[in-house]
Amino acid sequence: MLSVTGNVKCVAALVVCAFALQAAVPAGWSLAGTKPDDYDCSIDPGAAYLGQPSTYLKSKPGIKATGFATMMQDFSAAPYAGKRVRLSANLKSEGVESWGGLWMRIDDANHPNPTNGHPSMVAFDNMHDRSVKGTTRWRNYSVVLDVPEGATGIYIGLQLDGPGALWVNGMKLEVVGPEVPVTGKPLNQSVPKGPTNLSFEK
């Protein structure tokens, strides 16, 4: 038979376990970035919007976040090769001191980066030029990129840099037509065909 103290400890342990289960990153997503341990990410049952559940990414209380965190996932680019895609979602924020927003990246593993051997990044947009800051109400945001032929991977996510909180819901990835402008520029990752300026004349 447990003592009163033992019962209290068991209840406390159950509460901690329940919170740990609640505070899990949503299935299919992972928490990454330069300082992911400074942030929490989980579904927020109390912040539904338009009848859909929401997920938060927020800096932990009492921690001065000095890097960024991202809730992200990646998948094959093959079904989208040669097409224009739009990642959109509803976002709201609270006390974001630096910046946050959606992001998308297109990689090509067939042409590795010559400096590190990693897949070349051929297109990218993280909303840095139009980021979410301060405290804002729900609003729809999007990033649009062209997926070139030969692209191998697409990475998408929600990013927060510094103190504050972001909520996201209604996220969609869809193919759009040429009438929808891209929001990020393609990146030139081509490898030179031969050496240049070996005589240092320039």
Query: Residue 125 half-sphere exposure, CB side, CA atoms within 13 Å?
Result: 22
What pLDDT score does 194 carry? Answer: 56
pLDDT tens, per residue, the chain with 202 residues: 444 444 434 433 333 333 333 468 999 999 999 999 999 999 999 999 999 999 999 999 988 888 999 999 999 999 999 999 999 999 999 999 999 999 999 999 887 777 777 788 899 999 999 999 999 999 999 999 999 999 999 999 999 999 999 999 999 999 999 999 999 877 654 444 456 666 666 6
What pLDDT score does 196 carry? Answer: 62
What pLDDT score does 129 carry? Answer: 94
pLDDT per position as a tens digit, 114-137: 777 778 889 999 999 999 999 999
CATH superfamily, region 24-176: Galactose-binding domain-like (2.60.120.260)
CB of 155 closer than 8 Å to CB of 74: yes
CA angle 23, 26, 29 (to 5 degrees): 125
What pLDDT score does 1 carry? Answer: 47
CB of 99 closer than 8 Å to CB of 164: no
Domain boundaries, the chain: 24-176
The helix or strand, by DSSP H or E, that contains position 20, with its residue range, turns out to be helix 4-22
CA 46/CA 177 separation, integer angstroms = 36
CA angle 11, 59, 74 (to 5 degrees): 100
CB of 22 closer than 8 Å to CB of 14: no
CA 118/CA 9 separation, integer angstroms = 49
- Cα distances (Å, whole numbers) of residue 85 to 113, 142, 144, 146: 24, 10, 6, 6
What pLDDT score does 82 carry? Answer: 96
CA 88/CA 172 separation, integer angstroms = 5
CA 11/CA 9 separation, integer angstroms = 5
Other CB atoms closer than 10 Å to residue 129's CB: what's the count? 10
